[in-house]
């Protein structure tokens, strides 16, 4: 990655518009990452990109659903959250549950939480999921905006233990 001497990333306005808030801390962190000097003398022990995590199934790309809700950036959900709560558990066939509906509800809650947040790169919110007929489970969820593989703003929605 090249050093950017005082240049402002092109996505400043879209990041702020993503949630309808200003997120200076995320912008500042992203600028710091982009402005880090290239130092070939560092020994990288291991690097795992967001793209590779999506290919491996560790992250589930939900960008299209996120765009329908109102998000404007690449969005993923961790596999733990997706497979543990967004996917419909067995036995709920007649309960009106679907992956599409559960994901939509999760994304709407994330959007509402993000719009309430000011000057932060992460928010937490609670989401209820029907896990069996008559039994719901309330889980704490984190929505975090940070730099992607190329410094672009990206959104990750996860459980606290996935952080």
CB 108 within 8 A of CB 69: yes
Non-local CB neighbours of 72 within 8 Å, separated by 6+ positions: 14, 17, 18
Q: For the segment 138-151, what is each residue's pLDDT rounded down to a tens digit?
A: 999 999 999 999 99
Task: Tell me what the pLDDT averaged over the chain comes to.
Answer: 83
pTM comes to 0.74
> How many residues are listed for the chain in this entry?
163
Task: Determine the Cα angle at 156 with ends 154 and 21, to 5°.
Answer: 60
Q: For the segment 54-103, what is each residue's pLDDT rounded down to a tens digit?
A: 999 999 999 999 999 999 999 999 999 999 999 999 988 788 899 999 99
Neighbours of 37 (CB within 10 A): 5
For the chain, what percent of residues have pLDDT higher than 70?
74
Domain segments of the chain as ranges: 12-162
Enter the tokens of residue 3: 């050093």
């Amino acid at each position: 990655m090249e050093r950017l001497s005082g240049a402002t990333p092109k996505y400043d306005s879209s990041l702020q518009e993503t949630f309808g808030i200003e997120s200076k801390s995320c912008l500042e962190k992203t600028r710091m990452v982009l402005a880090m000097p290239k130092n070939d003398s560092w020994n990288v022990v291991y690097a795992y990109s967001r793209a590779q995590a999506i290919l491996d199934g560790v992250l589930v790309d939900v960008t299209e659903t996120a765009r329908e809700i109102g998000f404007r950036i690449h969005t993923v959900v961790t596999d733990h959250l997706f497979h543990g709560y967004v996917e419909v558990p067995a036995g709920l066939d007649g309960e009106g549950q679907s992956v599409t509906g559960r994901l939509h509800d999760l994304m709407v809650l994330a959007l509402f939480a993000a719009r309430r947040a000011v000057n932060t790169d992460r928010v937490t919110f609670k989401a209820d999921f029907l896990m069996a007929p008559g039994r719901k489970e309330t889980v704490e969820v984190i929505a975090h905006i940070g730099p992607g593989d190329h410094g672009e703003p990206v959104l990750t929605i996860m459980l606290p233990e996935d952080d």
